[in-house]
Amino acid sequence: MILASQTEIFDTDVMGELNRLKIERIKSGSALLDLSMINPDMTPHRFLMDKLSEASINPAHHRYSVSRGIRKLRQAFADKYEQKFQATVDPETEICVTMGMKDALVNLLFCATRPGDTVLLGKPTYPAHLSACRLAGLNLDFFSIDSDPGTTLRNVQEKIQSSRPSVVLFNFPNNPTGISVSREFFQQVIAGFSASETLFVNDFVYGEMGFNGAPQPSLMSAPNASAKCVEIYSLSKAYCVPGWRIGALLGNPELVSKLARLKSHIDYGIFLPLQIAAAAALTCSSDLISGVVSEYHRRARDLTSGLQRLGWRVNAPQAGASVWASPPEAAASVDNGSFSLALARRLLLEHSVLVMPGCLFGSEFDSFVRFALVAGCPQIHQVVQRLEIMGAK
């Protein structure tokens, strides 16, 4: 149950303020470049839309569905994991379809934890993860994500030993940094704490969006992963269908069963034609993803090189749909306020570019901003040009 006091975390809405300013800019006729939310701009593959249309025509498909997801879709997730990630997942006991990542994570935490438990998260931290943990009444602890995976591994291991969290919440490939880890990383973390009661969770939304041409490692590919692990997968980004709200929780049978039971009290499942189309997409023999990933890679490469030319501190992302960067003047102080928020306001009001302030990912990241790669390369070049003009002033 969510208490009224728990919703106080939403009283301060940084992006709400920026979005109000964005609307004002749009009304004034500004050519706005919105790179704040990772809301895919690319069109879904025609195959997906055709399958959705076909399924929608059937009158029987407009009745209630099932909360845990239809068997056909759960099997499609299992097939995807077997073929793409070399992980075996039982569609009957180890998969529950969810309305995207947020639905999966919020409800999972209510099933797996008690208020006052500790959750360990990577920092910088995706804001939706912070919200989900706070709604569940959890205490927060953090490990630092480093570009060197060995350093990140040591950071995780030391923090688990010191804080003994109930849950470790990974997000690899990571939002906002684009950092990925290896299969061995997951294997070593799990093996090192096999005797503990800690649950390991990975937000795997960007699992099919690696820029090296190979699938990203899944937490579920580690030996005996289903005994201690669950993973959250989503079609939103790789398949360009965020509005469909199709995701899944995969792994530990007890937690998957608890989540399915909880959802049976909350919803009647996802619109059936969406589930049918998603199942077809996951099992399609044609490649529906590589073109999307290649386009994100081009955008990331162009933006990274442009920012570096202007003196920004930025590392090229290994995966995902964003670029995490700090401007040359980031050391400058802002009286009585946030540097990243002030920078975001200035970019929006003076140059019609909207980004996400780094302070939302943790107070120590106030010198950073996140650029969502939701505009084509010509628009990315315009963003760099506007930043260059800003730096010249």
The CATH class for the domain spanning 59-282 reads alpha beta
Q: Tell me which H or E stretch contains 201.
A: strand 199-203
User: Is residue 255 a contact partner of residue 199, using CB atoms and an 8 Å limit?
Assistant: yes
- pLDDT on residue 392: 55
As a whole number, the mean pLDDT across the chain is: 93
Strand partners, 249: 96, 232
Mean pLDDT for 238-250 is 98
Predicted confidence (pLDDT) at residue 13 exceeds the cutoff of 80: no
Helices then strands (H, E): number in the chain?
Answer: 12, 13
- What's the whole-model pTM score? 0.94
Predicted confidence (pLDDT) at residue 7 exceeds the cutoff of 80: no
**Taking the domains of the chain in order of start, what are their residue ranges?**
4-43+289-392, 59-282
* pLDDT > 90 in the chain, percent: 86
- pLDDT on residue 335: 54
**In terms of C-beta distances under 8 Å and separation of at least 24 residues, what long-range contacts does 21-29 make, across chains too?**
21/345, 21/348, 21/349, 22/348, 22/354, 25/348, 25/349, 25/352
Q: In the chain, what are the helix, strand and coil shares in percent, each to the nearest 5?
A: 50, 15, 35
Which of these ranges, 122-126, 224-228, 308-312, has the smallest mean pLDDT? Answer: 224-228
For residue 121, the tally of other CB atoms under 10 A from its CB is 25
- pLDDT on residue 84: 95
- pLDDT on residue 193: 86
Task: Tell me the pLDDT tens digit for each residue of 98-124.
Answer: 999 999 999 999 999 999 999 999 999
The CATH class for the domain spanning 4-43+289-392 reads alpha beta
**Per-residue confidence at 29, pLDDT binned at 50, 70, 90?**
confident
* pLDDT > 70 in the chain, percent: 95
